[in-house]
Amino acid sequence: MTTGEIEVAVMDGTTLVQRWSCRRTTLPDGVPGVLWRGIAYPLLPGDCIDVGVLPSTDPATHHAVMPGDEASWVLVQGMPAALDTARKALERNGVIISRTGRWLGDPVGQTAFDWFLRCEGRLDEQLVKGLFAQSVPVSVESDSGARLAVLEQRIAGLLADVARAEDGLRRSMEMPRPSDVENLPLPAPGIPVEHDPALRNALEEIQALRAALEAIGADHRVESRRELDAPQTVRTRDEVTALLAALRPDILLVRDSLLVALGELHSRSGFYKALGELPLSGSRPEGWKMLRGAERWWECHISTGRNDHGRVYARYNTSMRQWSLLLGWKVDQPQDIAWLKRQG
């Protein structure tokens, strides 16, 4: 289990790469570690890590189960390969998974989770724990995102090596230092690279690493681990619930709308905008369209912070003077509309 953050010296052998605030974790063998760029490294004496030594496995995977109205959200901590391992473990045992993605909601207890799997039906926490216990540990070497992070780190270290080598070489030749070291041009005219084997080897290694990065591809880049603070005094769930109670007590979120809003939307601005568009009088929301086949339900598209695949459905109950609101995704629209029709 993670237990907060610590500032560590990030070392590549004997070279200091940077000082960084890293989240603590525990490695599978029980050794204390920290997460740097999505990979777990053992914490060495003096609060440092050696990123030149690639760990053999992902950190011990934590999970949690959040029950919804008609589904369960299984939360997983780890690299992208941990999500894939969890998906396979669940599907092998007959669990139907309708959606997966990055978890954007509150930490659960002291643990900040990275991924979610939306599973049909209600799942027992102990059952899921047993399924995951049978899974094979995730190999870092098999995860393209992890390999990419290590390659990028190695390039960063070589940039510093090249800069130092060029600086020393130019000082010895009394030549000015080029300003654009970051673009890594092959050394400026007049610098005899062949006379400096260390510099020549570093440049060759950078070219090889860049070729490896290109082979992996940009589609496999790992999003930076979200730097979450210690557990908040007011959780987002409590805040959103209080907000609705104070500003729109006439809106009732149905099914798992609150869980979707809290954990799956990169931005809730579109969701809040849709809430504000529902008239207090219960009349037709401006710009919304009537949903065919589902009596008195209105529909609008909302931004999720990444795209416009969010869907909001609302119906006004005249006797209760209250809106019922369902938040969903475009991909789940057939199932959501079928549920709306069953509401009469």
Contact between 79 and 113 under an 8 Å Cβ cutoff? The reply is no
Can you give the pLDDT at residue 308?
Answer: 93
Can you give the pLDDT at residue 134?
Answer: 66
How confident is the model over 15-39, as a mean pLDDT?
78
Q: Reply yes or no on whether the pLDDT at 176 is more than 50.
A: no
- Per DSSP, the three-state class of 34 is strand
Q: Token match 């709308």: residue?
A: 257
User: Vertex 270, ends 264 and 273: CA angle to 5°?
Assistant: 135
Can you give the pLDDT at residue 319?
Answer: 93
Q: Name the residue among 261, 249, 237 with its Cα closest to residue 328.
A: 261
Most confident of 57-71, 116-130, 183-197: 116-130
- The string of pLDDT tens digits covering residues 53-72 is 766 554 445 788 998 888 99
- Of the pLDDT bands very low, low, confident and very high (cuts 50, 70, 90), residue 252 is very high
Can you give the pLDDT at residue 280?
Answer: 94
Point out the least confidently predicted range of 94-103, 143-152, 238-247, 263-272.
143-152
The whole model's pTM is what?
0.58
User: Vertex 72, ends 67 and 73: CA angle to 5°?
Assistant: 100
What single-letter DSSP state applies at residue 220?
G
Q: Reply yes or no on whether the pLDDT at 111 is more than 80.
A: no
The 3-state secondary structure of 5-28, one letter per residue: EEEEEEEECCEEEEEEEEEEEECC
Point out the least confidently predicted range of 58-67, 114-123, 240-249, 312-321.
58-67
